[in-house]
Structures are given as C-alpha cells and as structure tokens.
C-alpha cells in the first residue's frame, strides 16, 4: 500500500486523463477562466479609481480617465477606518493565538495520549466539524447578551479557548505521525506530558502552528455575522464597517469609496495567502483528502 | 509487551489536554442548542421579560407556515443546483490543471485566490461587477448585443448567488487536484493498454478512485450551502441584518427566513423552533447522502489498519 502511494507520486506526472485538447487550446481555455476569476479584483480596483459620475456613466467606462486616488483617502477618513482596522487586527490576532494554542493541545491529546472514552470523543469531534456553526450562533448571541458579553471581545476569547475542530484535526494528523522514540526518551528522562508537549512536540509543529494561526486569523478578519450580531458601532470590525457605512449626505451609498475601502480591507488577506499559499494548500488537502 | 503496573498514560493527563475542546463543546455548542430548544417552547420576543411557555405551538405553526416551507424548498433547490455544479466545476478545473503545464503554480494560485476573499469583500466586488448600469457584466453583454440584465433582484438574484458560490470553488479544486495526483498511474496506463478511451478511463477508473474525495466534497458542500445566509444578505440592496426583510425572494433561503423571524419580527421563540427543525433536516440529509454513498463511493481496503 505504501509502495503504491510513493511510486505513483513519483511516476504520476504523466497524466493520461485529459480532454482531447491541444496544448494551445488548453492555455486559451485557462486564460479565459483566469479572466473570470481575476476579473472582479480588477473591476474593484478600477471602480476604486473612478469618480462617482464616471462610475455611473452610460455607456460604461472601462478605464478611469484619471486615477482618483482621493477615493482611498475618503475610504480612510469618511468613517473611522483606522479604528475599525485596529479592532479587526486585535480581534483576529487574539483569537488566532488562543485557538492555535488550544487546538494544538487538544490535537496532541488525541494523537499521543490515551484515556477512556477517547474513541467516542473523537467521533463527536469529527461530527462537530460538520455541524453548521450558524445554527448555534443565534442562541449563543441571546445567551451572551443575557450574560452581558455583548459589545465585549469575551466571546472571541471563549471561542479561542474552546479550540476549533478543524484545527484540532490538523494538529492531530501532524502529531500522530511523529515517531514514538522521541517521547520514549523524554519519559525515561522523567518528563511529564506537559513538558513533552511544550518542549518536544510544539517546536516540531512549527509549520502547522503557522498554518493554524494564519487560517484562524483570516477567518476572523473575514467574519461578518458574529461581529454584526455581537458588537456595536464602536467595537465592531472592518468587515461590518465597510459594508454599509459609506454614504453621502443624502444617505446614498458611494460605490467608488466603498470599493477603495474593500480593496484596503481585502489586501491583508490576499497578502497572507500569497506568502503562505503552500500552508493553505497543505491544510485544505489534509482536511479534504484524508477527512 | 509486558506491562507493569506503571503506565505512561492516565485518564487525567488525557482529559487535561482535551479539556479546552470538551468544555468549549459543552458550553458553546451543547448549551446554546439546548437553550434554543428551551426558547422554541416559549413566545420570547428577544427583550421583554414577560414571556411564557407555549409548548409545541411554535412547531405546529411552523408546519403550516408557507413562507418557511417555500424558504426550505428554495434552499433545497439552491443546494441541489449549486453543490453538484461547484463540485463538478472544481473537478473539471483540477483535471485541466493535472498535466504538465507551464506555470502550474500560477494557474493554481489564480483559481485558488478567490476562496480566501472575505465574504464582505466578495459581495462588494460582485455587486460592482453585476451592477445593472455600471457593471462590467452588462457592459460585456452589451458588446455581444444582449440587453442589460438586472442581476441583483428577482429572479436573477438566484443566479447571482450561484455565480458567487462558483467563484469560490478554489478550495475544492485544490483538494480534487491532490486526489487526482494520488490516482496510481499504472491503473490508468493498464486501461489504456487494454484499449480504453480517455473518457472511459476517466469515467471508470479515475472517478471511482477519487470518489471518496468527491463524496466528502458533496457532504461538506451540502451542509455549507444549506446554512448560507450572509451572501444573500450582503448581495441585497439593504445589506445589514436589520434589512434582512428586503432580501429578494429568489435568494430568501431558510436561514434568511430565520434571521427575519429573529430580527424583523422579534419572534425568538419561533425562530428557535425553525433552527431546531433545520438542524434535524440537515442531519437527515447528511445521513441520506451517507447511506447513498455505499452505492457509488469506492473504498479501498481499510488503509488505517496497516499502519
């Protein structure tokens, strides 16, 4: 079984399954698809560089006559963009640190330790990966408002401590593959599990730690519904702020400034993705192929 | 292995390590679900302290609620279209990329990129693209002589939502690509030697080999698509939770209806009953798909056991 896997990985760049298309046709097809996938980004930037009149002009102007960089200034000043960005950054970082730490510990427990009821617990864990989170969010919101946790960042602290099934699974897969000899030596030296985890396993899991941190950061950075429900105008995040608050004095939305704000908002997520793409690919594959 | 009374494992250390998740699961999943069930037996309106128990009245009302039924059927229809479409498209794209290509990494990045775009930015982008007067979509259609389409209201909003879903299929594509690369080349080669055409090899060897992955994509896709609420909300003209009532009919999915009961009608009890019914519906669908998997998913002999 193992031989097959490794052998096929080596030989496999010889794809037999393909549509009967010439090489040229494939590149044309890919190019056309790429335009569909990249197009919205380009259109967002073009909109962000137009005047309002130009944006609304009929027939449609593709390119702005003169780039309106002022839209970005408006995006940053019409609403308190920096403050919301700080809120988003703070919330995302805090959640990412907490959830990564807790998920690593739980993943370690499921991978290396034994206890009664472990099998059953692990099945529950796997099925909560499937549980639609949106179902619990509304009653959680009602509960949190009764407990006075609305307009605080405590919900994210709690969610962080509670670990994420998806990340636990990633850590578990990684820790389970580490040879036993490593912990044997430490146990002979008299180390307890906590020290084995902190001193040996955690440092080894650096790539998973990075993946987990970046994934959970992007989740929180991009989350709309939880901050929209739980946080007020002063505490909320960029994702809520840029959605609806760019208005002229008549209350009409200003699409060009909103486009500029959206470009600024999406930039950190895209940069993280571009620099850490292999981490994302690995985590997606680990969860989707073996899951 | 001879084991003395000493053991390196103890329940205490195991439960110490997994306690964050166990506690979190109990307090942040089980308790809210239970709380929702409690609420569903009341006429609680979200704020007033004067609520009372109404028994199963919310549930009986729900069964006669045509709005809720329509929303549920719409959600099932949407899922039945969007999930097969995006799984098939992800597989198609993966097949296209599973060959010797110049700049494979670049192509993969391009198709993967949209799947990390936050939903808020996604909605803003597509509202700009699909804008009736100023959007590029209608401008391009105009070039080929098609009249402007009003994308973001009924009935086209439904298709706009599908486009949005398809745009984010990059994660699925990456998974499919990895699965395709795991299909043993010898198998496909042997079939070709035996005279099978490429399509037959794909249909009868490649697809069965990766069917567990396809299955997983379908299950997670169905669950994720069932609970869609943010996308219709943000694509609508009044994009806020307070404006949930103005979501177009064609994208007024079940969870949108739930939010409307909570935040427009202030019917927290009724909304909670809707949540619980939906929970059971999703569970039933998942089990149904799981059952059907035996008919079409090809599993190899348990690979776990030979570790």
Walk me through the domains of chain A, giving residue ranges and CATH numbers.
79-245 (1.10.3720.10)
B136, two tokens: 């590029």
pLDDT of residue A17: 47
Assess B255–A contact: CB distance below 8 Å, yes or no. yes
Write phi, then psi, for A249 (nearest 5 degrees): -60, -20
pLDDT of residue B6: 64
DSSP A79: T
CA dist B262 and B244 (Å) reads 10
When pLDDT is cut at 50, 70 and 90, the band that residue A5 belongs to is: very low
B136 and A280 within 8 Å at the Cβ level: the answer is no
Contact assessment for residue B285 and residue B264, using Cβ atoms and an 8 Å cutoff: no
Contact assessment for residue B244 and residue B258, using Cβ atoms and an 8 Å cutoff: no
pLDDT digits (tens, 9 = 90+) for A248-270: 888 788 899 999 999 999 999 99
Nearest to A105 by CA among A161, A143, A150, A62: A161
Report the residue from B14, B24, B272 with minimal CB separation from A118.
B14
Residue whose tokens read 């941190």 = A213
A285 and B119 within 8 Å at the Cβ level: the answer is no
Beta carbons within 8 Å of A86's beta carbon, 6+ residues apart:
none
Task: Kindly give the confidence (pLDDT) of every residue in chain B, 307 residues in length, as a single tens digit, with 9 standing for 90 and above.
Answer: 444 556 788 889 999 999 999 999 999 999 999 999 999 999 998 888 888 899 999 999 999 999 999 999 999 999 999 999 999 999 999 999 988 888 888 999 999 999 889 999 999 999 999 998 888 999 899 989 899 898 988 899 999 999 999 999 988 998 899 889 888 888 888 888 888 888 888 888 888 888 888 988 898 899 889 989 999 999 987 777 877 888 899 999 999 999 999 999 999 999 999 999 999 998 888 888 878 877 777 775 444 443 3
Beta carbons within 8 Å of A2's beta carbon, 6+ residues apart:
B306
For chain B, the first-to-last Cα distance in angstroms comes to: 18
Nearest to A98 by CA among A212, A226, A225: A212
Residue environment code for A108-136, b if the CB has 16+ CB neighbours within 10 A, otherwise e: bbbbbbebeebeebeebbeebeebbebbb
Q: Name the closest residue on chain B to residue A98, using Cα atoms.
A: B20
Measured in angstroms, the CA of B208 and the nearest CA of chain A are apart by 13
Q: With beta carbons under 8 A apart, name residues in chain B contacting A60.
A: 133-136, 138-139, 142
Nearest to B184 by CA among A287, A284, A1: A1
pLDDT of residue B5: 52
Q: With beta carbons under 8 A apart, name residues in chain A contacting B35.
A: 139, 142-143
A229 and B241 within 8 Å at the Cβ level: the answer is yes
Which of A52, A101, A113 has the highest number of chain B CBs within 10 A, making it the mutation to test binding with B?
Answer: A113
CA dist A229 and A141 (Å) reads 7
pLDDT digits (tens, 9 = 90+) for A37-88: 999 999 999 999 999 989 988 788 888 888 999 999 999 999 999 999 999 9
pLDDT of residue B294: 78
DSSP B42: B
Q: Model-level pTM?
A: 0.89
Report the residue from A33, A228, A259 with minimal CB separation from B128.
A259
Helix (H) or strand (E) holding B11: helix B11-25
Reported ipTM exceeds the 0.95 cut? no
pLDDT at A126 over 90: no
pLDDT at A9 over 70: no
Measured in angstroms, the CA of A278 and the nearest CA of chain B are apart by 10
CA dist B105 and B112 (Å) reads 10
Among A31-45, A123-137, A190-204, B99-113, the range scoring the smallest mean pLDDT is A123-137
């Amino acid at each position: 079984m193992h031989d097959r896997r490794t052998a096929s990985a080596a030989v496999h760049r010889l794809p037999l399954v393909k549509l009967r298309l010439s090489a040229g046709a494939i590149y044309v097809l890919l190019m056309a698809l790429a335009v569909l996938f990249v197009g919205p980004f380009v259109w967002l930037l073009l909109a962000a560089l137009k005047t309002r009149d130009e944006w609304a002009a009929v027939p449609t102007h593709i390119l702005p006559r003169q780039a309106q960089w002022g839209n970005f200034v408006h995006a940053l000043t019409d609403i308190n963009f920096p403050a919301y960005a700080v809120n988003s950054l703070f919330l995302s970082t805090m959640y990412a640190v907490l959830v990564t730490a807790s998920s690593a510990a739980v993943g370690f427990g499921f991978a290396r330790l034994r206890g009664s009821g472990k099998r059953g617990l692990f099945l529950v864990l796997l099925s909560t990966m499937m549980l639609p989170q949106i179902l619990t969010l509304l009653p959680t919101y009602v509960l949190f408002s009764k407990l006075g946790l609305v307009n605080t960042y405590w919900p994210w602290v709690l969610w962080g401590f509670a670990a994420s099934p998806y990340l636990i699974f990633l850590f578990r897969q990684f820790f389970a593959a580490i040879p036993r000899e490593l912990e044997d030596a430490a146990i002979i030296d008299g180390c307890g599990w906590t020290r084995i985890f902190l001193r040996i396993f955690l440092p080894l899991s650096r790539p998973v730690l990075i993946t987990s941190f970046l994934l959970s950061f992007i989740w929180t950075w991009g989350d709309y519904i939880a901050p929209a429900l739980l946080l007020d105008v002063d505490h909320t995040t960029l994702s809520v702020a840029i959605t609806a608050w760019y208005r002229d004095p008549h209350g009409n939305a200003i699409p060009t400034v909103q486009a500029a704000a959206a470009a600024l908002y999406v930039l950190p997520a895209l940069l993280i993705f571009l620099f850490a793409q292999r981490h994302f690919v690995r985590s997606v594959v680990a969860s989707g192929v073996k899951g | 292995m001879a084991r003395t009374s000493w053991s390196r494992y103890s329940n205490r250390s195991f439960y110490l390590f997994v306690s964050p998740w166990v506690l979190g699961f109990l307090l942040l999943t089980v308790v809210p679900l239970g709380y929702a069930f409690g609420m569903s037996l009341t006429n609680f309106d979200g704020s007033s302290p004067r609520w009372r128990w109404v028994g199963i009245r919310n549930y009986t009302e729900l069964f006669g609620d045509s709005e809720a039924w329509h929303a549920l059927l719409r959600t099932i229809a949407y899922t039945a279209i969007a999930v097969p479409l995006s799984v098939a498209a992800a597989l198609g794209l993966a097949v296209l990329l599973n060959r010797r290509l110049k700049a494979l990494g670049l192509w993969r990045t391009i198709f993967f990129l949209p799947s990390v775009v936050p939903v808020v930015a996604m909605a803003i982008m597509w509202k700009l693209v699909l804008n009736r007067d100023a959007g590029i979509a209608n401008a391009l259609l105009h070039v080929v002589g098609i009249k402007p389409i009003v994308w973001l209201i009924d009935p086209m909003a439904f298709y706009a939502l599908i486009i949005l879903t398809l745009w984010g299929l990059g994660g699925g594509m990456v998974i499919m690509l990895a699965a395709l690369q795991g299909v043993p080349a010898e198998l496909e080669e042997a079939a070709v030697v035996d005279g099978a055409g490429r399509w037959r090899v794909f249909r009868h060897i490649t697809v069965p080999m990766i069917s567990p992955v396809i299955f997983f994509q379908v299950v997670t896709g169905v669950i994720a698509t069932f609970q869609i609420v943010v996308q219709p909300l943000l694509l609508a003209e009044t994009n806020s939770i307070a404006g949930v009532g103005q979501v177009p009919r064609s994208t007024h999915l079940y969870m949108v209806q739930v939010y409307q009961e909570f935040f427009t009608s202030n019917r927290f009890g009724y909304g909670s009953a809707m949540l619980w019914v939906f929970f059971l519906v999703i569970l039933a669908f998942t089990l149904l798909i799981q059952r059907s998997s035996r008919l079409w998913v090809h599993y190899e002999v348990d690979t776990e056991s030979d570790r």
